[in-house]
Structure 1
């Protein structure tokens, strides 16, 4: 039986104490509310591949995954960014996907093509009816990117491990060092679903008032206002700072509790509704290069069921595009001036 778990909305002091490596500090965020518990009871069913986490079969908890480590209908994929992390230890049975080569066409600055992706996924033992569970470091940023790519190519049952790698490790659960060996699977990528992806002309039409859509910038407040060009220690990539006109700022971190697990469905709806995002209008999410935006896309599209797409060109593309409008409250538009 999965235990009842209590989730907490972080108080400002707790937020300031947590450093999110390689992106933004939680101290830059400003979730509202005191540290009040939200007891979300969950029940467990281990018959087949159906988790009961309250997230409509798109999120599994650690108990469920541990109970299904030997289930041939479940395949686990790690998508972490720290070099050597997978090799030092991974969830037993997990195959390693490298975000910047396995999910991305590095030459064309695009997602991996369907033929190559089919080869990788089949090598991981995935069949058409396989339950695919992704997890990774950095609170599942890049695992969520992987889920987005899987969805684009028509995978039917893709889920995230709640809390990702950090929660699994902090919970003292088993890690393996030997990569698994799988018989080749039968899964084949479908034609890419472009409705899950926004391009520069799409967001520019929204910025110019020619298209009705909600733009959600999920970067830190400091990035959104233009106070910083990029998170500390991260390559800037864009020559201008600020955000797309009309975008609302809901930093991705507001969707997770201190332990990295998703907040309850009720909390998530409230967080986005407070910013005017209620699913009544199509949504495009963006960040700096697309990975943090994928985390918010997963929340909006997979957990809340809203029509949402990722602008994976994100601020790197938009902020470097000649002639497009931006908003920059901090006044640091070009080169820090």
Structure 2
């Protein structure tokens, strides 16, 4: 099965079997939650790159994306080039810190800074091993690259514009957090959710046992229809810090090919730090 997906093809999905047949044609990036997980086992040839490298404090928001210059240094050291690059994560065998979002976070980060050929391993390391793929403790020798980062500003929306358009009739804000924190109190200074945001938990779109494996497309489409996520709307993805939203952003934009999708990267964390901003508790958007 060839790489699959929609949109402009910057991010696509591949099966373990496809990767086995194309190992010599791709760059492989392991983004398991901790370096010790990678040391314990990884796909042969995979270089380790932690998703946390790409965010830092800015203003009142504690986890915003670093500038292009800093990204380039990271990409150079990791040998990232604009060639087919497979990203995957695993269950965190050593530390147990995984939640399945590492690979969508890294896939988004690569695309956000100008990579045009990102391949997500559907099902991650568990599906790779289930299909009979080898794992190793041997590290590849990494050659420094000269990748030029270019921020894709049309992928995200910043606070002033978000606040201005979020309640327009042709805009749908989807909150990717679990239902219990959407409706009630999470770790944030305020409870609930941004007024108008509809809850679509990211994990509901993934396999019940493996949160790196997409559910069948017909099940995904049923969930999207129930949330009112039609292709004629601007779909703004939000969550806690913009991380959970990466799962749904790449799914909407590149798996299903929705024409107008963006991430509010500051998400609920930034929204709630602004004193005058209200929040809503309970199951209803408003």
Q: What SS does the aligned partner of 1:121 have?
A: helix
Distance 2:122 2:108 in 1: 16
Unaligned runs of 5+ in 1: 1-43, 45-50, 230-235, 331-337
Which residue does the alignment assign to 1:145? 105
Which residue does the alignment assign to 1:132? 85
Distance 1:142 1:87 in 2: 17
Please list the CA deviations of residues 214-247 of structure 1 after superposition, one character each: whole Å capped at 9, or x if unmatched. 1000111111111x31xxxxxx2x1111011111
In the alignment, structure 1 residue 90 sits paired with structure 2 residue 42 = yes
Matches within 5 A, 1:235-246: 236=187, 238-246=188-196
Matches within 5 A, 1:1-337: 44=1, 51-52=2-3, 54-56=4-6, 58-69=12-23, 71=24, 73-82=25-34, 84-101=36-53, 103-105=54-56, 109-128=63-82, 130-137=83-90, 138=98, 140-171=100-131, 173-190=133-150, 192-207=151-166, 209=167, 212-226=170-184, 228-229=185-186, 236=187, 238-258=188-208, 259-260=210-211, 261-306=213-258, 307-329=260-282
Q: What SS does the aligned partner of 1:319 have?
A: helix
Distance 1:300 1:311 in 2: 14
Distance 1:186 1:67 in 2: 27
Which residue does the alignment assign to 2:95? none
Distance 1:106 1:186 in 2: 26
Distance 1:134 1:140 in 2: 12
- TM-score, normalisation: structure 2: 0.84
Which residue does the alignment assign to 1:36? none
How big is the shift at 1:125?
A: 3.0
Q: What SS does the aligned partner of 2:273 have?
A: coil
Pairs aligned (count)? 266
Distance 2:268 2:102 in 1: 17
Distance 1:239 1:153 in 2: 31
Does structure 2 conserve the Cα–Cα contact (< 8 Å) formed by 1:205 and 1:211? Answer: no
- TM-score, normalisation: structure 1: 0.72
**Structure possessing the higher radius of gyration over alpha carbons:** 1
How big is the shift at 1:121?
A: 2.0
Distance 1:89 1:255 in 2: 27
How big is the shift at 1:299?
A: 0.7
Q: 1:112 to 1:166 in 2, by over 3 A?
A: farther
How big is the shift at 1:188?
A: 1.3
How big is the shift at 1:63?
A: 1.0
Q: 1:139 to 1:131 in 2, by over 3 A?
A: farther
Please list the CA deviations of residues 157-207 of structure 1 after superposition, one character each: whole Å capped at 9, or x if unmatched. 1121101233334555321212211333342112x1221112222332245
Distance 2:111 2:169 in 1: 25
Highest relative contact order (Cα 8 Å, sep 6+), 1 or 2?
2
Does structure 1 conserve the Cα–Cα contact (< 8 Å) formed by 2:49 and 2:78? Answer: no
